[in-house]
Every structure is written in structure tokens, then in C-alpha cells.
């Protein structure tokens, strides 16, 4: 059983997954910094420094001036302001990822075209399709992918 576990761990897919998790965590901190340090300050300025984090409803009917005060007293609260903040952060992070991936794809990937035979994406420099192995000539060039 130990040998099987060792074999499982030494597979390329497991190692690749481990590398992806580590790089994903590092990339996550970059995205969080981008959203928190670059996107949020101008948005906060445009919205008049609105802070939703202190919006809550106590479920026992007591009145508290802040969420921290209610939590310190042990009152049950419905923290809808924190939920609104989480939604805003999610949308901003998704937007930041979309923009960054779009820029990376545009600037770092090799120009591509469609194979006229199998329609797979191929490099503009390719003379043979890597998928269907068709010979590509200048007359066969089709539109970009």
C-alpha cells in the first residue's frame, strides 16, 4: 500500500496539481492586492467612502450602534453588510481576473489561426497542423481563431 501511495504521489498529474495550487495561492494574493490596493480606493472615493461592513440587523430586538458592539455582547446578528461587501469583492476580483487573463492572452500567446481541415488553433508559423497533421500552405490559411 505504501508503494502504491508513493507511485500516486510521483505521478506528473499530482505534482502538476501541487504546483498549480501553490501558484494559484500566490496569484490569489496578487489579485487580492490589485483589488484592495488599486481598484477599491478609487471606487470608494466615487461612492463617497460608503462602508457596508457595519450594516446589520439584530435578531433579538436589541439595539447596538456597531456590529462589533453587538458581537461583543453576543447578540445574534444578520450581517447583510458583510455579505454585500463579499459580493462586491467577488465581482471586482472576477473582473480583475478577466482583464488580466485577457491581457495575458493577447500579449503573451503566439498568434493563432484555425486549421482549414480540423479547425484547431495553430500557430501562424506552423507548416503542419499538430492535431490532424495536414500540410499547411499559404493558400490554406484561414481566419484567426
Instruction: For the chain, give the secondary structure using H, E and C.
Output: CHHHHHHHHCCHHHHHHHHHHHHHHHHHHHHHHHHHHHHHHHHHHHCCCCCHHHCCEECCCCCCCCHHHHHHHCCCEECHHHHHHHHHHHHHHHHHHHHHHHHHHHHHCCCEEECCCCCCEEECCCCECCCCCCECCHHHCCCEC
Average pLDDT of 87-109? 81
Residue 76 has a pLDDT of 93
Q: Give 33-80 pLDDT, tens digit per residue.
A: 877 788 777 877 887 767 777 889 999 988 998 889 998 999 999 999
Q: Was domain 2-54+84-109 assigned CATH 1.10.1200.120?
A: yes
Q: Give 1-15 pLDDT, tens digit per residue.
A: 888 877 776 666 777
Q: Provide the whole-model pTM.
A: 0.54
Average pLDDT of 83-108? 82
Most confident of 10-24, 65-79, 92-106: 65-79
Q: Where are the domains of the chain?
A: 2-54+84-109, 111-145
- Please report which confidence band the pLDDT of residue 18 belongs to, taking 50, 70 and 90 as the band edges: confident
- Mean pLDDT of the residues in the chain: 80
- β-partners of residue 57 are 78
Residue 139 has a pLDDT of 46
Q: Give 122-133 pLDDT, tens digit per residue.
A: 887 888 888 888
Residue 131 has a pLDDT of 85
Q: In the chain, pLDDT over 90 holds for what percent of residues?
A: 8
Amino acid at each position: 500500500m505504501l508503494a502504491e501511495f508513493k507511485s500516486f504521489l510521483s505521478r506528473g498529474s499530482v505534482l502538476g496539481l501541487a504546483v498549480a495550487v501553490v501558484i494559484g495561492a500566490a496569484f490569489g494574493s496578487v489579485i487580492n492586492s490589485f483589488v484592495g490596493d488599486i481598484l477599491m480606493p478609487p471606487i470608494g472615493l466615487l461612492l463617497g467612502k460608503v462602508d457596508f461592513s457595519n450594516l446589520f440587523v439584530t435578531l433579538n430586538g436589541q439595539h447596538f450602534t456597531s456590529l462589533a458592539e453587538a458581537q461583543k455582547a453576543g447578540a445574534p446578528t444578520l450581517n447583510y453588510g458583510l455579505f454585500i461587501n463579499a459580493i462586491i469583492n467577488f465581482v471586482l476580483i472576477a473582473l480583475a481576473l478577466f482583464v488580466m487573463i485577457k491581457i495575458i492572452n493577447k500579449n503573451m500567446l503566439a498568434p493563432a489561426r484555425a486549421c482549414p481541415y480540423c479547425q484547431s488553433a495553430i500557430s501562424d508559423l506552423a507548416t503542419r497542423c499538430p492535431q490532424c497533421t495536414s500540410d499547411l500552405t499559404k493558400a490554406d490559411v484561414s481566419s484567426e481563431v
